[in-house]
Amino acid sequence: MASKLPADGELNRRINLRLRTDVPNASMGTDEVYSAGIWRWAKKEPIRSIAIRAGENTGEEPTDLFWVRWASGTKPDDITLAHVIDFGGHRFRVLDTIDVDDLHQFTRITAKDLGVIDVP
């Protein structure tokens, strides 16, 4: 079944795709450090499907889908579970990525809203 690809003008949200790394700290623990990331235009849509929201595939409850153009840095193999998306003062954990319909046009990122972040 083919997915409905974003139409012209729907990639109208600016997101920052960042890599999260845990680094040791002086307290013998770890601190989360985030890369500067890459800014991309995206389409954001909430997940409404009961089956997907129940987390049947990922074990976690996804909240949103982000669509970005398929390109260097945004191909499904480039985006790992260690990535996060910063958008609208919220941080989203990446749960899954796919090349929509294997067309090499769009990457769809399934994400979970982690809540509000401080934006400098």
Domain 13-116: give its CATH architecture.
Beta Barrel (2.40)
pLDDT tens per residue across span 66-97:
999 999 999 999 999 999 999 999 999 999 99
pLDDT value for 91: 97
Q: Which residue type, as a one-letter code, is found at position 50?
A: I
Write out the E strands in 47-118: 64-69, 83-87, 90-99, 106-116
Residues 53 and 62: their CA atoms lie apart, in Å, by 6
Residues linked to residue 38 through DSSP beta bridges, in sequence order: 17
Instruction: Tell me if 43 sits within 8 A of 67, measured CB to CB.
Output: yes
Q: pLDDT-derived band of residue 59, with 50, 70 and 90 as boundaries?
A: low
For CA atoms 7, 103, 39, 44, the dihedral sign is positive
